[in-house]
Every structure is written in C-alpha cells, then in structure tokens.
Amino acid sequence: MKNNKKFTSTELIIVVITLVILGLAATPFLLNIQHNAKLRVINGVKDATEHADKIAHEQYNQGYAVQIGTTDRYFLDLNQNGLQDINEPILVLGHLDSTSVVTSLNLQGKLLVSESKNTNNDALYIGFANSIDEIESSQCYFRYEQATPSTPTPSFTIESSGC
C-alpha cells in the first residue's frame, strides 16, 4: 500500500483560517509601529536636549561662560581662550538657546526643525511633518522653549497626538 502524504482540503482550510486569525491579531501591533517609532524618536530628542542643557548649565555654573555684551546671553568658552569658537554654544540665562540646541543635537533623518512664529517667545519645534511650516499642526513634535527673564528655566514639551 502506498503512503499518501498530501494535505487534505480540511487541513488546508484549518491552516488558512489559523493564518488569518494570526494576521488579524497582529494588525493593531503592525499599524502602531510607525506611531511608536516616531514617539521614541521624539522622546530621544527630548532626552538628548535635556541632557545637553544640563551639561551646558553645569559648565555655566563652573565659570566657562563669557557674557556677550550687556545682555543675558553668554557663550560657553570651552577652550578658555576668551573667543567664541565654532560649536561653542550660546546660552540664555545659563541655558541653551534654540540655535545651540539644533547644533548640539546633530539631527538626521526625517526630523524637521522650525522656530516659533510667535515673536514673544523663542520656541523651537523638532518633529515629523511634510514641511517645516506644518510641524506645529502635525501634532508630532518636541518643543523647546528657551529660558526668559520671566521663566528662567527652559521648557521641554512633547506633543504626540498626531504621530
């Protein structure tokens, strides 16, 4: 007698149904991957900015800062030569200003950077959007609001509802 090792139609239907069920179970996870990836990148930018600002503030407190004119702006004189060299960040009230945040982070990939359109504050938006003008409306960004005399510490905010 010959040994027949073919699938029966019943077995084939059971395998197909099992694969469909697994696919349906995995769909929410697969659809959420892009959201999670963007959110992790935005959180990474926030953490890196907080860390860079903390280091800059500590160096400011240790006397590495040189005042620029009579303003509340300083630069970190890292090599102690009295001159502002390339990549020496500018500080406002001892914290990184918006431009120095961008240069400190060395952003790459699809992240876009935009400065606030509101002239009353110096806010920086770093996020995902189709264009620089759409970062705020994309609702998927990190916002850095630099220190001011009325708020002497910067704020670090994440908006992730549009990611």
* pLDDT tens track for 129-148: 988 888 888 999 999 998 88
What's the Cα-to-Cα distance from 25 to each of 15, 19, 29, rounded to whole Å?
15, 10, 8
pLDDT of residue 73: 86
What's at 109, amino acid-wise?
G
pLDDT of residue 3: 63
pLDDT band at 58 (very low <50, low <70, confident <90, very high): very high
Mean pLDDT within 52-65 = 92
Mean pLDDT within 90-97 = 91
Contact assessment for residue 82 and residue 67, using Cβ atoms and an 8 Å cutoff: no
Mean pLDDT within 47-61 = 94
Q: Which of 93, 90, 45, 102 is nearest to 72 (CA)?
A: 93
Q: Where are the domains of the chain?
A: 37-159
Average confidence score pLDDT of the chain: 87
Q: How many degrees, rounded to 5, is the angle at CA 95 between CA 41 and CA 46?
A: 10
Buried b (16+ CB within 10 A) or exposed e, 49-82: beebbeebbebbeeebbbeeeeeeebbbbeeeee
Sequence-distant (≥ 6) Cβ neighbours of residue 52 within 8 angstroms: 96, 101, 104, 105
Contact assessment for residue 146 and residue 122, using Cβ atoms and an 8 Å cutoff: yes
**Is the pLDDT confidence value at 110 over 90?**
no
* pTM of the model as a whole: 0.77
pLDDT band at 118 (very low <50, low <70, confident <90, very high): low
Task: Tell me the range of 14-23, 27-36, 84-93, 118-127 where mean pLDDT is highest.
Answer: 14-23
Mean pLDDT within 30-37 = 85
pLDDT of residue 30: 78
